Amino acid sequence: MFRILQTSLRRFSSKNNKDVFGALGVSKATLDKDLDLDVLDDDGVAEYEAKIADTSRPRPHEFLRTLNAQARQRDLASALKTLEVDMRKEVVKPKEKHFRVVINECAKQGFVTKVSSIFIT
């Protein structure tokens, strides 16, 4: 059995034909030029991972302090922006405490429909 394999390998290696191995005949430079890899890899994962790895980004407790300060100043618009826009931009998941502060302030100012929309989302 071993001799048969050796004979086959010698015969196969003696043929100096690139097509036997399935060479495309296209250089890597041509493939790189034809494929725009930046467009194919634009799925946002790299930006998300970079944001998560950033140790200087705000943490949930810092947003909670900001929300409490905005609630004390009766600045509902800024509190809603912080909860809905800023925390999402910084990839910080709001906790129950964050929602409680904003919902309480909405209720104090009479925005019942806004409370229900915050609760649903």
Range of the domain at 97: 58-120
Task: Please determine, for residue 42, whether its predicted confidence score (pLDDT) is greater than 90.
Answer: no
Contact (Cβ atoms closer than 8 angstroms) between residue 37 and residue 61: no
Helix 96-109 and helix 112-120, axial crossing angle in degrees, nearest 10? 160
Residue 17 lies in a domain: no
Residue whose token pair is 């493939």: 31
| 48 part of a folded domain | no
Please state the domain count of the chain: 1
Among residues 73, 70, 56, the alpha carbon closest in space to that of 98 is found at: 70
The answer to the question of residue 111 being in a domain is: yes
pLDDT in tens, 53-111: 888 989 999 999 999 999 999 999 999 999 999 999 999 999 999 999 999 999 899 88
**86 is a domain residue:** yes
